[in-house]
Amino acid sequence: MKIFNEIVYFIFPLLFAGVIHHLIIIKFDLFSFLSKPIDNNINFKGKPLLGKSKTWRGLILVPILSSMGSLIISQIIPIQTNLHPLLVGLLLGLGYAIAELPNSFIKRRLNIQAGEKSCNKFYNLFLFLDQTDSVIGAVIILFFIYPTNPNLYLLILIIGSLLHLGIDQYLYRYGYKQLIKNG
């Protein structure tokens, strides 16, 4: 039961942040003054550094929303950490948001545009990376703030990635994200 509680405790804030971010903030274009690309439209070797979809809005609001989710879940499931739940959520959300950036950088180098699903030989690799990169970032942060059995990190990686895939599919199916096909 303890490991189940830990999984829920550390995944819920990220789910909360992602759902609120996509279904409310992006859909209704809230905090639009932050919807500027992190890379400021800078090109690197003739290609966008990160692309238009990596914005300050996500980088700032996902950690804040995650901290709110962490505070909510801490009232339901009492897990002892050395940090306040707001800080736990903030750090997990920051790890989650930052870990998406290297994947975006690599995809831009390969001419895969933001929001585009490559239909070439890289499709499976980037499908995997798109669902795991941010979860890996959160798990790395978790490793430093909550030292525990490595099985917890592995389970959070697997369950978090599967949830990310499912939610992503929902967002595409119901028009919250737009799929751009290549090739």
* pLDDT digits 0-9 by tens, 76-130: 999 999 999 999 999 999 999 999 999 999 989 988 877 666 656 777 888 788 8
> For the chain, what is the mean pLDDT?
91
- pLDDT for 178 equals 67
Mean pLDDT of 150-163: 97
- pLDDT for 115 equals 67
Structural contact between residues 30 and 24, judged by C-beta atoms closer than 8 angstroms: yes
Residue 172 has pLDDT above 90, yes or no: no
21: left (phi over 0), alpha (psi -120 to 50) or beta: alpha
At CA 74, angle to CA 7 and CA 57, rounded to 5?
85
Residue 181 has pLDDT above 50, yes or no: no
